[in-house]
Structure 1
Amino acid sequence: MRPSLSVLLGLFVLTLATAAAVPPQSGFLDSYPPLQPDARHPGSFIYLAPGGSLKGLTKVQIDPILVWYSKDSTYQGIDPNELSAVTENLRKALVKHLEPTYPVVDTAGPDVLHLRIAITNVMAEKKKRGILGYTPVGFVIGAAKNAATAGPNINIASATLEVELLDGSGKRIAVAIDPLLGADIQKENLTWSDIGKVLDAAGTRLRGRMDSDNLHP
């Protein structure tokens, strides 16, 4: 059975937020194709390459997730530990909800769907914090005692998720650009606990979409 590409693209849609126009180009993608609104997911935009197919792609390879700061961010201070906390915990959430049914592998192959992912339009905020307010190396969201109240320097309230799907040969299959937070999420003063829930929800939605699309005929 030939998998539905439009259905799989929905696994990257992390919200039902609305948007009036395609988000500005961050520069993450080498080239930006003509994107169209995803009718089933308001606020999201997709591009399907002519003749693109997911047939035979039964495994997933996820490149290191990148973070691109918005050009409109007046403060450019970057805490590398916070970046790692977001990207590593997002990857863990994706892997947790995909495996073991959908193996996540480290090497490319003819049966491997290659994903390039970036969290873009991220803002930075300067905050006055004591020594206990800084994010430690190897921080795991949800493990810290102050996760429910601690506020990070990184601001993802207006962030978007850019995803490029490539086949085993490196040929582009599709592109999806989605808002990271849903309309039901309080965007002001996000805590690490809030961010953890957003990232875990991303993994849950991805797994649900994978289950609805027959990648293993």
Structure 2
Amino acid sequence: MRLTLLTLQTLFMRSKMRTASLIVGAVLVVPFALHCGAARADYLIPDSVQLTPVAQFPGTKGYMAPDYAAQRARLHSVYLVPVEVFLAPDSPYKGIDPEEMAQVTRTFAQILTQEVIKDMTVVDTPQPDSLILQIALTDVRLEKQGFRLRNLTPVGVAINGVKRVAGISKISFKTMTVQAIGASGDNETLLFAIDNPPRPGDVQESVRLDEIPKVLATKARNLRAVFQTIRDAH
């Protein structure tokens, strides 16, 4: 399957536009996302990509080009497109600070570099021999701890003060799906695509923003395992 030059450029432009939208303020982020459909769980992966279930990972779907091995052999570097985040339309909370969200994407990019592409040559700008890797957290639902009367008590005030000092966030991630696309930098050939949501039946526990690196590390390892499974099946 080939992505046309226009399609690939559109993907990169959407990435730049959405990344830019994160720094203009929380008031502008949500209207922009909802207007352009960025909250769709399948937004990163084009509708034309035929995903198939990955039996070893219930709920996960993937695609790999029939000639992946030959295509991949021609590529000698990896360019990681800035990680994106798409809030679900029904997210209980949408007012996260843009810098906090940017910190999440930077953290995930660092984890991906250390966990998924650690043995590859990573470049700052895409080259003709680069694998273009684009990853997003989609269908994200956020929660925020509400106001409680106990916060007005001396104990409550003291607890909140300790939390602020410790960097404990009141914002939590409730759900998220990891999506990934890999394409060659020279002829825009789509090499693989992965949609890795939580497993069906999993209890979705809220994870505080300051605890999210642990979850992202697990997500990165799962993404690597899914990719290796799909690759080995071809």
Q: TM-score range by the shorter chain?
A: 0.5 to 0.7
Write the distance in 2 (CA, Å) between the matches of 1:171 and 1:128.
47
Deviations 1:72-121 (A, max 9, x none): 22543232122112111111111123566312211222332111111000
Deviations 1:135-192 (A, max 9, x none): xxxxxxxxx8345xx4425x2x32111111101222211211002x568987323134
Write the distance in 2 (CA, Å) between the matches of 1:47 and 1:212.
11
Tell me, yes or no, if structure 1 residue 118 matches structure 2 residue 139: no
Write the distance in 2 (CA, Å) between the matches of 1:174 and 1:162.
11
Map of 2:178 onto structure 1: 161
Alpha carbons of 1:107 and 1:183: their partners in 2 closer, same or farther (altered >3 Å)? same
Q: Which amino acid aligns with 2:166?
A: K
Unaligned runs of 5+ in 2: 1-39, 148-159
Write the distance in 1 (CA, Å) between the matches of 2:167 and 2:209.
8
Unaligned runs of 5+ in 1: 1-23, 135-143
Map of 1:16 onto structure 2: none
8 A Cα contact 1:151 1:189, kept in partner? no
Write the distance in 1 (CA, Å) between the matches of 2:220 and 2:42.
23
Query: 154, 163, 166: which one pairs with 1:145?
Result: 166
Alpha carbons of 1:70 and 1:98: their partners in 2 closer, same or farther (altered >3 Å)? closer
Alpha carbons of 1:80 and 1:133: their partners in 2 closer, same or farther (altered >3 Å)? farther
8 A Cα contact 2:178 2:219, kept in partner? no
Map of 1:177 onto structure 2: 195
Larger Rg: 2
8 A Cα contact 1:82 1:152, kept in partner? no
Please state whether the residue corresponding to 1:71 is helix, strand or coil: coil
8 A Cα contact 1:26 1:68, kept in partner? no
Seq. identity, %: 27
Write the distance in 2 (CA, Å) between the matches of 1:62 and 1:131.
38
Q: Which amino acid aligns with 2:85?
A: V
8 A Cα contact 1:95 1:203, kept in partner? no
Higher relative contact order (CA 8 A, sep 6+): 1
Write the distance in 2 (CA, Å) between the matches of 1:62 and 1:162.
13
Map of 1:44 onto structure 2: 60
Map of 1:191 onto structure 2: 208
Alpha carbons of 1:28 and 1:192: their partners in 2 closer, same or farther (altered >3 Å)? same
Alpha carbons of 1:30 and 1:186: their partners in 2 closer, same or farther (altered >3 Å)? closer
Q: Which amino acid aligns with 1:107?
A: T
Map of 1:72 onto structure 2: 90
The TM-score, its normalising length taken from structure 1, stands at 0.65
8 A Cα contact 2:59 2:199, kept in partner? no
8 A Cα contact 1:97 1:206, kept in partner? no
Q: Which amino acid aligns with 1:122?
A: V
Alpha carbons of 1:104 and 1:79: their partners in 2 closer, same or farther (altered >3 Å)? same
8 A Cα contact 1:93 1:202, kept in partner? no
Alpha carbons of 1:186 and 1:132: their partners in 2 closer, same or farther (altered >3 Å)? farther
Please state whether the residue corresponding to 1:93 is helix, strand or coil: helix
